[in-house]
Amino acid sequence: MIDIRTFQFGNFVTRTMFCTPEEILEDALLVFDENTAALFPERSLRNSIVLPSGEKAKNWQSIDKIIKGAIDASLGRDGCFCGIGGGVICDMTAFAASVYMRGCSVILVPTTLLAMADASLGGKTGIDYEGYKNMVGTFYPAQEVRYCPDLLKSLPDREFLSGIGEVIKTAMLGDRELFRYLKENRDLIMERDSDTLKEIIKRCIMVKGNVVEEDLNEKGLRAILNLGHTFAHALESVSGFSDWSHGEAVAWGLLMAIETGVELEITDNYYALEVRKMLEYYNFQLYADVDTDKLIQAMNQDKKKKDGIINFILQKNIEDTIIRPVDSDIIHSVLKRNRDKAGDM
């Protein structure tokens, strides 16, 4: 294994590293979904749990299955859970570990670009509840996160592209060189060149890790990592977690955040155009034919709402991010304009 960096997240220490496929399986309770289990036939020789794949499995029933598996394996508080999968598996495995015997060790092995770029690092855990995204969860960083870019070669194209949405978000927030790198190396990225993927994964880890080191529990700075996500989570909820992948919804949400900033005369117009071009360059769907009122209703259930007010993450320019409330009439106008364009296509 090759160390990337060790982070201090509050009282938690998280070691990040690149590894080979042979270095993934651990003497632990292994948690897979149906897709990742197929990549490791030797898992049958160890204690393992296989959950259904996809966002719809992100529920109490899956947590119950993980905890029952730990009990059946006689796992003590000094035991370890190892989640091997995308963001859903990473979130659920760490959540189960955080509540099992009041907390035991967890190692995460993200197998999607989205999970490598974002979900696996920083300690946010959770499940969806009553149709709302990540409504129940904890802050519980993994002791180790192991990154194996070779696993990305097996991803379906749509799933791989989904991760690019989070990579673009990360570049917008904290790495203008990564933004440039995404423009100049699209072909290598889409060909899944190992060295190119290592570069973007490492840069995403650094941006997110630096933010979370300052604010593990999202009391202030960490909230900027939700750029585009208030819109994205609403779209996912209204669409029943089926029509849009998380990364696709994030890409759409990034455009909505940028267009909201333009509407408020906060966001630089040239930068807004560059973001749109980047999203188009990677062929993201940028228009959603979804009921505007239902989207706003879903936003009003957002767990980040405080004192009845939703604070939106907006940008003046790249690496220049602000948090502020936005009048619902502005949000309605931006969403309606987007829906009207979807209807014209």
Candidates 43, 58, 203, 208; catalytic one: 208
Candidates 203, 222, 236, 259; catalytic one: 222
Candidates 218, 263, 274, 319; catalytic one: 218
Tokens 């919804």 correspond to 249
Candidates 65, 133, 146, 229; catalytic one: 229
Active site (annotated) includes residue 229? yes
Active site (annotated) includes residue 146? no
Candidates 233, 236, 248, 259; catalytic one: 233
Candidates 102, 177, 219, 306; catalytic one: 102
Candidates 144, 159, 166, 236; catalytic one: 166
Strand 80-85 and strand 29-33: pairing? parallel
Candidates 58, 226, 236, 338; catalytic one: 226
**Gap between the Cα atoms of 278 and 254, Å rounded:** 11
Active site (annotated) includes residue 124? yes
> At 6, phi and psi to the nearest 5?
-105, 125
Active site (annotated) includes residue 133? no
Active site (annotated) includes residue 77? no
**Gap between the Cα atoms of 121 and 225, Å rounded:** 12
Max CA-CA distance within the chain? Answer: 59
Q: Let me know: does 81 contact 93? Beta carbons within 8 Å.
A: yes
**Gap between the Cα atoms of 166 and 189, Å rounded:** 14
Active site (annotated) includes residue 233? yes
Determine how many CB atoms are found less than 10 A away from the CB of residue 263: 16
Candidates 58, 65, 124, 169; catalytic one: 124
H helix or E strand, kind and range, residue 7: strand 2-9
Nearest Cα residue to 83 out of 48, 54, 57: 48
Active site (annotated) includes residue 332? no
Active site (annotated) includes residue 246? yes
Burial class of residue 60 in the structure, from the number of CB atoms within 10 Å of its CB (0-12 exposed, 13-18 middle, 19+ buried): exposed
Instruction: Give me the active site residues, please.
Output: 102, 124, 166, 208, 218, 222, 226, 229, 233, 246
